[in-house]
Structure 1
Amino acid sequence: MTTVRKFGLKVPDRVSNQTESDATVALIDFNGEKFVQLDSVGSKDRKFVGKRSQSMRLSKDAFDQLVRLGNKHFGQS
């Protein structure tokens, strides 16, 4: 698991197809700070289907930044 406090914008060298999986969102209060945690779960092709695979915990600043970037990318104000 990782805690993200700031995103850097990257232009990928190439884009390729990726497998799909389910994910969950958890709203966390930890040590007096609020986080949004994203957990991906194993895809249907993995040995342990449905097991948590990767976690990313976003601080409020990182979450706000991600929302701004997403709104800009998808053409929303």
Structure 2
Amino acid sequence: MAVIDQFQPLDRERDLKLHPTHVIGHYGVFKRDGRVFLQIDTLGSADRAKPNSQSQTFQLTSESAKALWEILGREFNLSA
């Protein structure tokens, strides 16, 4: 599990490829010490040794959520 504080672009020369596994993202919002966090969990695919067990977790702060919002808007041509 990790709290994402900021985003940085990957080196464009790096080979990016689509992963074959598709999962559902489960999310929750909680407050700690007056701050709001968004947590996203994914469960392992049916092909894993422990299917449907928690696989990945990451948390966004309000600042990193805003940064991600801006990235998504720019890269997917979205508007509010």
Query: Do they fold alike, i.e. is TM over 0.5?
Result: yes
Contact 1:42–1:49 (Cα < 8 Å) also in 2: yes
Alignment equivalent of 1:42, drawn from 37, 41, 44: 44
Give per-residue Cα distances to partners, 1:35-60, cap 9 Å, x unaligned: 11111110111122211111100000
**How far off is 1:28 after superposition?**
1.3
Structure 2 distance, partners of 1:43, 1:30, is 31
Q: Which moved more, 1:16-25 or 1:62-71?
A: 16-25
1:68 paired residue number: 70
Question: Among the aligned pairs, what percent are the same residue?
Answer: 22
- Counterpart AA for 2:22: E
1:2 alignment partner in structure 2: 2
Unaligned 5+ segments in structure 2 are: none
> TM-score, normalising length from structure 2?
0.85
CA RMSD of aligned residues (A): 1.3
For 1:17, the equivalent position in structure 2 comes to 18
Deviations 1:17-50 (A, max 9, x none): 3111222011111222101111111011112221
Work out the number of aligned pairs and report it. 77
Amino acid at match of 1:3: V
Q: TM-score with structure 1 length normalisation?
A: 0.88
Identify unmatched segments of 5+ residues in structure 1: none
